[in-house]
Structure 1
Amino acid sequence: MPNPGGYALVLNPTIVAPRRTCKFSRVLIDGGNNINILYRDTMTKLGLEAKDLEPTRTIFHGIIPGLSCSPIGRIRLDVLFGTSDHFRREPLWFKVVDLSRAYHALLGRPALTKFMAVPHYASLKMKLLGPKGLITITSDYRKSLECSLDGARLAESLVIAEERCQLDRIVALANKMAAVPVPAEEPSDEASFNPSKETKKVKLNQEDPSYSKYIVMGTRLDIK
């Protein structure tokens, strides 16, 4: 690897569903996440439908930059690591989200705990105990880099789409405000006073320098 430790751990486990079993090549191992995530298109590939999901009230962040996300449901599926002659299979709960993503699924801390697995991000490997001893699963940094680039492009497009929606809302609000007629000012019954330009200020008490009150009077008034 040209940059050890700079790549995500992307593995290829097998997910077992009641109607179909599939081996997925883009499953992200994320030890910083406290849930397991299954994306809707992956659910479709497994032959699952919305009626197969259980309701959930979980709300989480980090999938869409700056936004929260609510799953459409949850489901329990078996996940298998290893080969046909030596593997380990465990049931896992997944939160199903209706989002586009560069991965097929995400396995967080609940999956690592269930398998008692140890991920090693520097060498892109994960180790766990199986019926016949140690199972080592190795990732490919090229696939990890490809997923990262796809994820970055997708995240950028999501941010642009959200900014476009916000801009459309602002423009619509501005147009709505511009369409509201401004009420005309009602004429005042009392005549307004406009002082003449030829005026001067005269102190009321010219003998006291600290006295600040004055009057404004015209310069063309008679001295009387």
Structure 2
Amino acid sequence: MDGGSSLNILYAHTLELMGIVLDKLHPSVWPFHGVMPGKRVQPLGQIDLPVCFGTPSNSCKEVLTFEGVITVGPSFDQAYECDVECVEHAEAQVDDEALAATLDKMASEALDSTCRHAGSFEPAKGIKKVPLDPCHPDGKALRVSDTLDSK
């Protein structure tokens, strides 16, 4: 059990060593994500077990729900395959972060170049000013082509 984890995982082999048969498990509805990088793990079930914390002179007993009774193959080949997948997953995540940083940089450069040119645009000839509100001429106007219809 990992005290810093929000998920209490108990391996099926450990349950067997404790003399608890799998029939005692309650069904688990939800799979786990992230126990093994990039993989979904369907637990065998869940079980409530009393757990003692501390030393004999200063202890506490609580019932914890072990929501993840899983089985992991003990072979070297499976362990190596899992390690390779973890490395590939980590490398892909680094590549994703690098790509995101590059895209952010390109977007900010594009915005900077747009802002530098703002206001330097010179309209073509034949421009007239049209008040935004003809009933209240406050000087705010649009500049439009003088060839546009008055409608």
- Normalising by structure 1, what TM-score? 0.33
Task: Identify the structure with the greater helix proportion.
Answer: 2
Larger RCO: 1 or 2 (CA < 8 Å, sep 6+): 1
Greater share of strand residues, 1 or 2?
Answer: 1
Structure showing greater radius of gyration is 1
